[in-house]
Amino acid sequence: MNGACPGGPDRPVDAAQRPTPLLLITGASGSVGTALRPFLRPGYRLRLQYRTRPLTDLSTHEEAVQADVEDLAATERLMPGVDAVVHLAGQARSRATWDEVRGPNIDGTYNVFEAARRAGVRKVVFASTNHVMGMYDRDKAWPIHPEQAIRPDGYYGASKAFGEALARYYADAFGMSMICLRIGWVLDRPFNEQGLRMWLSPRDLGQIIRLSLETRIRFGIYYAVSSNRRCHWDVENARRELGFSPLDDSEAFAAEIPASGSP
């Protein structure tokens, strides 16, 4: 058919007739996945991977699949029919040991990227972390820009830096669109002073994930944080390149939070 659409050159396929894209979310039973799902349901069918915490609150067009991303074969079984991946699964404790991050964050991240590549999935959104740059925070060397040299503050941050580097390789070597988001603190509302700087509201999370899924950018690293007056992270490239326009500001809750004396 020489690549022509089924309706012929004068009768393009109606967008309403196209199948709803299937999105795989790894680590979907975690706090970020739980907050994200309502914002993606309108535009996607969701395949929700979990390892040990079952998902029982499924809505229409959601399916839950138990799998361990540390197992490449099991991860490959998640991919049939998938159009894009949001990779949230992993060890998320900032002070985790090397043994704790090596399986889920090193092997698991490779397995997700590689399984996606083998299945012909062209888009992966990778959940990175501010801890990739945590030593700048320790030294109060603010603001922090995504293009600065990495300075992880532990094995967890280093494992996520590995994920960003691996994403860059998959973008360059295989032409995949690999978007890395250094996700802030996803909460309904901040409850301490650190949260006033790091907060990412659920609806701002949903916005930046959707934009990351829709962009044609081959590779990028972006801070995912709400429009917080006290934020130390630069989100300008996310605004410029993705069109991110965060709606919330943690300052709305500042009066409720006792000051600790820290900047």
Phi/psi-derived region of residue 136, left when phi > 0, alpha when psi is between -120 and 50, beta in every other case: alpha
CA distances for 144 relative to 167, 187, 189, 221, 234, angstroms = 21, 22, 23, 13, 6
25 φ/ψ angles, rounded to the nearest 5 degrees: -115, 115
Distance of CA 210 to the CA centre of its chain: 10
Q: Which of 50, 110, 156, 222 is catalytic?
A: 156
- Structure tokens belonging to residue 127: 């959940």
Active site residue 223: no
**SS3 for the chain, per residue?**
CCCCCCCCCCCCCCHHHCCCCEEEEECCCCHHHHHHHHHHCCCCEEEEEECCCCCCCCCCCEEEEECCCCCHHHHHCCCCCCCEEEECCCCCCCCCCHHHHHHHHHHHHHHHHHHHHHHCCCEEEEEEEHHHHHHHHHCCCCCECCCCCCCCCCHHHHHHHHHHHHHHHHHHHHCCEEEEEEECEECCCCCCHHHHHHEECHHHHHHHHHHHHHCCCCEEEEEECCCCCCCCECCHHHHHHHCCCCCCCHHHHHHHCCCCCCC
User: Mind telling me the catalytic residues?
Assistant: 156
